[in-house]
Amino acid sequence: MLHLSRWAEDLIIYSSPGFGFVELADAYATGSSLMPQKKNPDSLELIRGKAATVLGKLTGMLALLKGLPLAYDRDLQEDKGALFSVVDTTREALAIASRGAATLRIHQERMRAATAQGFLTATDLADQLVRRGVPFAQAHEQVGKLVRYCADHRQTFADLSAAEAKRFIPSWDSQLHRVAVSPEDAVIRRNVTGGTAPRQVARQIAAAQDALRRSKKRSSRRSR
């Protein structure tokens, strides 16, 4: 439920007008009673709220246990109501989360446009300079000054002329320009375990699917 709550919070933020990255299906959102234009992510907010209740029950049981000796006491009968309600709540939250995710509309172009903000490739620029033999501290300083210049002039890396970039990174060339303006390459470049490269993401998805299959098999055997 903690994981679900954080996932729901991300989608609540990303579905807000300021981001507009995703949009919930109408079946998992409601209109506002006051504002005609508003679409409330009620399903996600309820998952987030239910998570608080579940965590509260866990805290209650821990508080109960801390005062007990290492033996069974009648106080422990309180765990039944907490456990059964939490299991029901978690199952319902998982079902709603699954359906909400399956019907989620993703605005890829809006997300891609957002990657131009915040100088996401700055670290990649510094890494590329290091590959060319520039000490990291020096590369960090050069890229940092370039970022400050862009921020002061309300520019992105894509807006820079070669002459402007060379003022801060003397070795600036077409290769560094490609690194600076390609968040996609930055994602692909992190091809290590747990990284963002598509190959690594696919591996993690496959591992999760395999874990689910094994879990279902164990549950099936126990039910027999």
pLDDT, residue 97, reads 96
pLDDT value at 205 more than 90: yes
Which residues on neighbouring strands pair with residue 31, listed in sequence order? 39
Least confident of 99-103, 121-125, 207-211, 213-217: 213-217
pLDDT tens-digit readout, 28-79: 998 877 776 778 999 999 999 999 999 999 999 999 999 999 988 999 999 9
Report the percent of the chain where pLDDT is more than 70: 99
So what's the architecture of 117-189 in CATH?
Answer: Orthogonal Bundle (1.10)
Q: Which CATH number fits domain 2-112: 2.60.120.640, 1.10.486.10, 1.10.1060.10, 1.20.200.10?
A: 1.20.200.10
Q: Which residue intervals of the chain bear CATH 1.10.40.30?
A: 117-189
Q: Which residue has the tokens 């598509």?
A: 198
pLDDT, residue 100, reads 95
pLDDT value at 159 more than 80: yes
pLDDT, residue 35, reads 74
Q: Which residue intervals of the chain bear CATH 1.20.200.10?
A: 2-112
Confidence of residue 116 (pLDDT cuts 50, 70, 90): confident
